[in-house]
Structure 1
Amino acid sequence: MKVSYILALLPLVVASPAPVRPRPTRARQALGLGGLARKAGLKYFGTAIDNVVLDNTQYTSIAFDRSEFNQVTASNGQKWVHIEPKRGVFNYTLGDEIVDPSKDAGQIRRCHTFLWHNQLPKWLTSGNWTKTTLLNVLENHIKHEADYYWGDCYAWDVVNEAFNDNGTYRSDIWLDTIGPEYIEHAFRFARKYTSPGTKLYYNDYGIERVNSKSLAVQALIKDFQKRKVPIDGVGLQSHFTVSRAPLYTDVRAAQQLFTSLGLETALTELDVRLDLPDDAHKTATQAKIYADSVRACVDEKKCVGVTVWDFWDPVSWVPETFAGEGNACLLDAKFNRKPAYYAVADVLTRGAANGTRRGW
């Protein structure tokens, strides 16, 4: 995310670097990560795209290449501050700049996001709301945005980052005015107004291990299912660091908190940042973390896909958010594929060869 918070201080797990694999053969490179993901049984391998780089034709030729990325997410263009900058005034320009070319390219879209505590317009954050009036605002927003993107979204991130790291609800305009039931209302509104078949997701960071936050999300889902509140999936954002990343087994266990309840999962914002300057050891460790994360999705039959939070280092959100850190993406500043790219391709290729996944 362009605006986010530092990940929870979780137990240190320093991954052992894997040997850097040689560059794949020309024949192996005929398929990009999206194509390889499909062969491995995933629905997609995708990328987030921000509007600030759409004037770079080398970037867009990769971003809207269905073989490389058969799914896209608008990093910022569908968030509230851009969609409804004034009350009742809707502007879909930034969202359309990503949605329209992705439709032309035949890519899947994960739409992001109806409700978040961040990137809200001033009219909303400074308003004098009651529970009833704010619920009306929320329903109206979801109604209009869902209607505009009717049929365009495989999934919507309905609610984003509603929990603190200790598993309590995050204090924000939604909780403080409506109460914790705002999450239920958002999902009910989303089901009411989105096109049939649209997957409704809860999306959060720091839930890639079994911990207080992921258990709180699981408890929310159990309560929803008991009371027939619609929810279809959980997005594990997966913003990792080279020095502090979950193991393959951690991600698998976290996913199973939700897949055991019948929901699908996805890694929705994967990147692996490192302390600058880079070196061979950090690069190798980064490649292993990327590979283990993707393998955790391939090996979970209810994990539908992986989205990287952009693929090109110069437009990553990391440097402006974490001083001294960067190089979090699969491609470097010169559009060269890093060892992490080839490590991911290798996992997907082996997943296809193993043939353990169902197709989509």
Structure 2
Amino acid sequence: MLAAPVPALAAPASNAADPAPADPAQTDRGSHGRTPRDLRELAHKTGVRFGSAVDVAALRAERDYRTVLNREFTHVTAENAMKWESVEPQRGVFTWADADAVVENARRNGQKVRGHTLVWHNQLPAWLTTGVENGTISDTELRKILRDHVTTQVSRYRGKIRAWDVVNEVVDDDGAMRQTIWLTHLGPGYIADVFRWARKADPHVKLYINDYNLEWNTAKIDTTLAIVKDLQAKRVPIDGIGFQGHLGIQYDYPGDWANVMRRFTDLGLEAAVTEMDVRMILPVTPEKLATQADYYGRALSDCLSVPACREFTVWGFTDRHSWVPGWFDGEGAACLFDESLAPKPAYRRLLATSRP
């Protein structure tokens, strides 16, 4: 998921005054026969973890943001703080403070963590891309750099991360393998390599392949299925498939999404909705909000209809910090809460959704 890099931040503010919810895995909040009061209770009722991407600057600076994040969600993903340019902006110089802040806040609030992402073609540090382009980093050295990056990051958070997006967006929209520095200089075998390196660094973490438009793009679906089957045939450890779920109400809802999930889970994978949002062409109207709520509800229903769908994560929960306006001109209002952190119809629709 491409989003604007997080700027340098001050030291983490203390959350000592924030209420710390109980661990949902250990507490029965008793939603029997009624609509759950919040997403944590819905998570307990359905058995599906509800997550959000986390803006680290907001986590530190905005108490109301922290309060909603920690009240509502049982799972979190660092929006940018674990991407390569964030954790190693200079070669050999690691900056873990932002990623650590997300992991520590999750620990205090009984939340699991999705690591995002180990290998991607975007948001790479300039020292790496420049070195590859000018030839000062050879293909042999690049492979070692990649192995060291995966090993270092996964090892640092061993036992603290539930699942990693190991490779992100490796298939292009036409179904071809995406032309990246990894494919160009290391060949397609880099995918198997990074999964093996990640498993060695943390034997118990779930390892995912993650992509956008996988909900409906037939060419991308078929190629990703082929990658998974090839990895499994080679006994490469892969545990899950991540559907980003970036939707827009100006497009049809991907009505076959549940069946697509099953094509992957039938291979023994668990599935997750990893980056859900539903944008609209502005301005906001009640009719658009109703359609947005319908899309969110249908997406959750699709996940709940597939037993191996284990997580439903939104890519930011408030329009105050959504990535959408910066990337889609004239579009926005994609999240469950508005800029004032008031819940939208989509939020209430999720609470009213139950397993089929």
TM-score range, shorter chain: 0.7 to 0.9
Q: Which amino acid aligns with 1:99?
A: V
Q: Which has the higher contact order (CA 8 A, sep 6+)?
A: 1
Residue 118 of structure 2: aligned partner: 114
Matches of 2:298 and 2:44, distance apart in 1: 18
Structure-2 residue corresponding to 1:334: 340
Which amino acid in 2 is paired with 1:242?
I
- After superposition, residues 1-360 of structure 1 pair within 5 angstroms as 1-3=1-3, 31-42=37-48, 44-54=49-59, 55-65=61-71, 68-127=72-131, 128=135, 129-194=137-202, 196-209=203-216, 211-247=218-254, 249-347=255-353, 350-351=354-355
Q: CA deviation at 1:29?
A: 6.9
Instruction: For residues 209-262 of structure 1, give each alpha carbon's deviation from its aligned partner in whole angstroms, at most 9, with x where no partner exists.
Output: 250001100000111111101100010000000011433x41112111211101
Distance in 1, matches of 2:36 and 2:289, equals 24
Q: CA deviation at 1:131?
A: 2.5
SS in 2 for 1:206: coil
Distance in 1 of aligned mates of 2:191 and 2:62: 38
Aligned counterparts of 1:246 and 1:200: Cα–Cα separation in 2: 28
2:178 aligned partner, one-letter code:
R
Partner SS, residue 150 of structure 2: helix
TM-score w.r.t. the length of structure 1 is 0.87
Distance 1:41 1:299 in 2: 12
| Alpha-carbon distance change, 30 to 166 in structure 1, aligned in 2, over 3 angstroms | closer
Distance 2:204 2:253 in 1: 32
**RMSD value over aligned CA atoms?**
1.7
Mapped contact 2:91–2:127 kept (Cα < 8 A): yes
Deviation, structure 1 residue 300: 0.3
For 2:160 and 2:347, the matched residues in 1 are separated by 28
Tell whether the 8 Å contact from 2:320 to 2:340 is kept in structure 1 after alignment. Answer: no
Any unmatched runs of 5+ in structure 1? 5-24, 355-360
Structure 2 counterpart of 1:230, which letter?
P
**Secondary structure at 1:64 match in 2:** helix
> For 1:309-350, what per-residue CA distance to the aligned partner results, in whole angstroms no more than 9, with x for missing partners?
011001000001111000000001121111000111111xx3
Kept in 1, the 8 Å contact 2:322–2:335? The answer is yes
- Work out the CA distance in 2 between the residues paired with 1:147 and 1:241: 37
State how far apart, in whole Å, the 1-side matches of 2:44 and 2:322 are: 26
Alignment partners' CA distance in 2, 1:183 and 1:303: 23
- Partners of 1:335 and 1:292 in 2: how far apart? 23
Moved >2 Å (runs of 4+) = 1-4, 27-31, 128-131
Secondary structure at the counterpart of residue 230 of structure 1: coil
Does the 8 Å CA contact 1:46/1:308 hold for their aligned counterparts? yes
Native 8 Å contact 2:173 2:217 kept in 1: no
Shift of 1:167: 0.9
Deviations 1:246-302 (A, max 9, x none): 33x411121112111010100000000000001111111000000000110011000
> Using the alignment, how far apart are the partners of 1:275 and 1:28 within structure 2?
34
Superposition deviation, residue 38 in structure 1? 2.2
CA 1:245–1:158 in structure 2 vs 1: closer, same or farther (change >3 Å)?
farther
SS of the residue aligned with 2:301?
helix
Most deviating of 323-332 and 178-187: 178-187
State the AA in 2 paired with 1:3.
A
Identity %: 42
Q: Is the 8 A contact 2:2 2:122 kept in 1?
A: no
State the Cα distance separating 1:30 from its structure 2 match.
6.2
Partner of residue 7, structure 1: none
Which stretches in structure 2 are left out of the alignment for 5+ residues?
5-30
Q: Would the aligned equivalents of 1:72 and 1:107 in 2 still touch at CA under 8 Å?
A: yes
